[in-house]
Amino acid sequence: MADKPRVVLGVSGGIAAYKACELLRRFTESGHDVRVVPTASALHFVGAATWSALSGNPVSTEVWSDVHEVPHVRIGQHADLVVVAPATADMLAKAAHGLADDLLTNTLLTARCPVVFAPAMHTEMWEHPATRENVATLRRRGAVVIEPAVGRLTGVDTGKGRLPEPGEIFEVCRRVLARGTAEPDLRGRHVVVSAGGTREPLDPVRFLGNRSSGKQGYALARTAAARGARVTLLAANAGLPDPAGVDVVHVGTAVQLREAVLKAAADADAVVMAAAVADFRPAVYATGKIKKKDGHEPDPVALVRNPDILAEISADRARPGQVVVGFAAETDDVLANGRAKLARKGCDLLVVNEVGERKTFGSEQNEAVVLGADGSETPVPYGPKEALADTVWDLVLRRLG
């Protein structure tokens, strides 16, 4: 790879083209060399001057400019990543069928690097059998096609077909670039990830909670989606934006999380319990706000045990061969405590984090050892949470066979 990773940003003709300006900025500000290749229709939405000024590179839509440089071949050949955002139904069809009638479609045929499509269109177009088949073809050939988001579309309608947020598309691209491949090795798999921390209400305004940020669980969901999995993310109070192409179910308490896990796990190939689940909840929920009474000490809070979701799904697998992964945060005797917890919970893998100092909750980085029920031990050095997530998926894949 060159000093600066070379990214081709293909833009096709949809109203969401303006959001690609933000995606472009994210790439350039994080040290990528970006060549924007819009289609002629895309220029109806955002002009060439904008793309050129923001990227610092020339912009053309067809193969007849700078012919001596053979751009229709060279741009694709030299790219480290091609991302098309927004990808219209027309663009997906052209890419699936190998048409090459402008610079972007030529580039898609000559690129040998990972290719990511971020589709945006009306729900009817996304759901049309022609588009479904084109998406399936592109995925079969190894491209990452990010699921569109659900929400407000052009005009008054809402539904599936919205371009995912630029920050989310950027994260998918960053991971694909870091792995150097878009190989969708989790394609055809359904994985369930729990993230965040449960909150156990005392009354309508107070709860018992914990400091889990949800970032590790979200990184697991994002990386699995980038590797082609169908992902269900069970998010407990994480307050993070929904990752692109992931089905997100929001839950509050441990009991709600248990219900959601059991439902989603029914057809899952793997379940990763990254959420910090409260072990106890208040025995009584006060339906009105608990008031202080002058001259009286507060009543003690009685607690009852919550179900141990990880132990339950490990003991009673929803499917034969389902891989179950747990997380553990430990302060002392990390490995010995981790081994004991792995045996107690009955899961296949346990990601053991040492907590303390810089390894704090909410950080972007993590360091861990992944223990296997087969006695294996995989250290993961201090680094981005996505790197740990990719190691977890590698180990899960090995166990799925």
Residues that bind ligand CTP in the complex, under the rule CB under 6 A:
254, 273, 275, 277, 279, 306, 308-310, 326-329, 341
CA–CA dist 95, 10 (Å, integer): 12
Shortest distance in whole angstroms from residue 264 CB to ligand CTP? 14
- The yes-or-no answer on residue 210 being catalytic is yes
C-beta of 170 vs 327, nearer to ligand CTP: 327
Active-site choice (106, 134, 210, 306) = 210
Quote the least distance from Cβ 310 to ligand CTP, whole Å: 3
CB of 309 to ligand CTP, least distance (A): 3
CB nearer to ligand CTP: give 46 or 273.
273
- List, as residue ranges, the binding site: 279, 289, 307-310, 327, 341, 345
Nearer to ligand CTP, 45 or 327 (CB): 327
Which segments are annotated as binding site for CTP? 279, 289, 307-310, 327, 341, 345
Shortest spacing between CB 280 and ligand CTP, in angstroms: 9
Whichever of 318 and 329 has its CB closer to ligand CTP, that residue is 329
Q: Nearest CA to 218 among 260, 274, 267, 178?
A: 274
What CA–CA distance (Å, rounded) separates 211 from 362?
8
Residue positions annotated with a catalytic role: 210
